Amino acid sequence: MYFFYSLCICNHIGCMRSPLWLDMAALVRALRAGRALRGLGSVAVQGTVSPQCRNARRGFHCATLLRLADDSKSGTSVPPPSFHEVPTAGESSSSSEPSEDGQPNTSYQDQSGEHGEDYETEEQLQVRILTSALEFVPEHGWTVEAIAAGAETLGLSSASTGMFNNGAGDLVLHFVAQCNAQLADTLAEQHNLVQLGQAESKEMAEFLRDAVEMRLRMLIPYIDTWPQAMSILLLPHNIPDSLKHLSTMVDDIWYYAGDRSTDMNWYTRRAALTGIYNTTELVMVQDSSPDFEDTWAFLDNRIKDVVNMANTAKQVQATGEAVVQGLMGAAITLKNLTGMNQRR
């Protein structure tokens, strides 16, 4: 029994920079568990607990067994520990690290989090950590320190940054995805209002302008550190993800702007808007005008350019067709004159 207590404590002391109060929490939990296990009087459980706690996924097993013990004995509203969704291979490979720190602590610290039957998946936990890490970005920049600070506000050890293989890249990609989701939701809401007739529909150029402005305004709280984030997104291993986020966002904007094209226009429009967005973003990071007026003026001009180009393209096509018809007419006239057009 006492071997079991000491083992659990050793788990925590063995971890890096684990605060003393977390060890105390673990001790109290271990004591409760010990009482519960004694109450169960099951030698088999005691016997298997310690060796199981020793293997690589000991956090997971420890937590599960403790939960079982707690549930059966105490019956109080102990918040169940976070644990991974069991089967997915993709998550299990990265789960052995976080189980070290995340698991034994969160069940006790996660008072404000998931109570009752909802268990948090690893992905959801990561999302929570990254979201809380965003507050520390102005202070620490887009770095692992910010993630560590975010983890600490949630009551987790700062070593839970080990969960994030990509470090700062994960944080930036999370932020980008969050902004895009917010944008998509807002656009969908506006679209619904227009469909219900409760709002006026916007002209296309105006819609694009407003959508890009809305999305870029989400960068304003982080604008000082945004160049760092942009350079992180340009790292080779982040490029596929960042491109996907960008293209999803651009597709969303065009869809809600009313584009239903099914030919090359689909591609040219998205390429044009991608160019507009990227150049406007670059202008924004070095814009020092009040409320970024220069940026919005730049955006306006770029969108006007694109609309002009589209109109010009249409005109060129119309002219081209007219010219071709003229040439055909001239050719037929020539054939008639030279007598080549006679059917014999």
Partner 1 sequence: MLRGSQQTILLTAGQPCINSISAVPFVRGYSVLPPTNDEEEKSMLHRMMRVDHAGEYGANRIYAGQMAVLGCTQTRPLIQEMWDQEKKHLSKFNEILGDNRVRPTLLLPLWNIAGFALGAGSALLGKEGAMACTVAVEESISEHYNSQIRTLMEKDPEKYTELLQMIKEFRDDEMEHHDTGLEHDAESVPGYQLMKAIIQTGCKAAIYVSERDVCVCTDHLEHKRAVFAF
Please give the residue ranges that form the binding site for partner 1 (CB under 8 A). 123-124, 127, 177-178, 180-181, 184, 191, 194-195, 201, 203-205, 240-241, 243-248, 251, 255, 258-267, 269-270, 306-307, 310-311, 314
In the complex with partner 1, the residue whose CB is nearer, 175 or 292, is: 175
In the complex with partner 1, the residue whose CB is nearer, 109 or 274, is: 274
Question: CB of 14: closest distance to partner 1 in angstroms?
Answer: 32
**Residues 227, 230: Cα–Cα separation, whole Å:** 5
Residues 102 and 163 sit within 8 Å (Cβ to Cβ): yes
Q: Residue 327 in 3-state DSSP? A: helix
Residues 83 and 113 sit within 8 Å (Cβ to Cβ): no
Q: Residue 18 in 3-state DSSP? A: coil
In the complex with partner 1, the residue whose CB is nearer, 70 or 252, is: 252
**Residues 48, 53: Cα–Cα separation, whole Å:** 8
In the complex with partner 1, the residue whose CB is nearer, 111 or 195, is: 195
Question: CB of 301: closest distance to partner 1 in angstroms?
Answer: 17
Question: CB of 154: closest distance to partner 1 in angstroms?
Answer: 16
CA distances, 303 to each of 62, 77, 210, 268 (Å): 58, 57, 11, 14
CA distances, 107 to each of 78, 173, 234 (Å): 8, 28, 38
Residue 165 per-residue DSSP state: T
In the complex with partner 1, the residue whose CB is nearer, 32 or 270, is: 270
Question: CB of 255: closest distance to partner 1 in angstroms?
Answer: 6
Question: CB of 48: closest distance to partner 1 in angstroms?
Answer: 34
